[in-house]
Amino acid sequence: MLQILLFLSSCLHFNISLKAISFDDFLDFFEKDNKNNYNKGVISVKVSLNNQALYVLEGNKVILASHVCTGKRDSTPTGYFKVLDKQMHKRSSSYGFWVKEGKYIPSDVSGCPGPGWRYVGYPMPYAVEFSPGYYIHQGYVWPVPRSHGCIRLEWKEAERFYKLVDRGTPISIKKTQPEDKKVGKRLKQPKSYKKPDPSPFLLVSERAFNPY
């Protein structure tokens, strides 16, 4: 109620007309805007590999739908899983950069060039682990499978997904999902993959965990 009063007060201050908005619309607005209003106990996740899509459901209602980028050569595991862990500032333990005195060499963790080099894993913001070593996290969403097995989401979707799920949230990963037929058809392919890759300097810094 306090939120509504503050909103009404701000509308009056800026002389905004409220005639076209019913009180029920106000309540609906605040309910939808409150990300903590969902019943976490009935939330589930579905991933469609063929449609490269992720759906978050509250019961039978889709509350988040997004294109994703899954693993190339069928490297994303399929089946039924549960959220094992969440890390907002996760770095890869397998792929990243070897760093020394302002030099950066992309490599896996086993490719140390020599003494004095340190390994910095590739950033995986808003990482949600669903199987040991496999995560749903922020990353460029290509129109084809391209990751090493993880599932990538755009920044905004990754942040919202991270907030919607908890440890134990069920996740189904299959070739197709029932939601593909209706919800999946309306999804628009992100264009972020067309952007130049961020610089290694940015990726090894803490700035990598902010939208770039």
| Percent of the chain with pLDDT strictly greater than 70 | 83
* pLDDT exceeds cutoff 70 at 52: yes
Concerning whether 150 is annotated as a catalytic residue, the answer is yes
Q: Which of 9-23, 73-87, 126-140 has the lowest mean pLDDT?
A: 9-23
Q: Quickly count: other Cβ atoms within 10 Å of residue 198's Cβ.
A: 13
Q: 13, 89, 137, 148: which is the annotated catalytic residue?
A: 137
Q: Which of 69, 89, 112, 150 is catalytic?
A: 150
69 assigned to active site: no
Pick from 26, 31, 24: which is nearest to 11 by CA?
A: 26
| Domains by residue range for the chain, with CATH | 68-167+186-209 (2.40.440)
What pLDDT sits at residue 212?
A: 73
So what's the pLDDT on residue 2?
45
pLDDT, tens digit, 9 for 90 and up, residues 91-148: 999 999 999 999 999 999 999 999 999 999 999 999 999 999 999 999 999 999 999 9
- List Cα–Cα distances, 149 to 64, 76, 87, 98, 212, in angstroms: 22, 4, 18, 22, 23
Q: Which two tokens stand for residue 17?
A: 């007309």
Answer whether residue 210 shows pLDDT above 60: yes
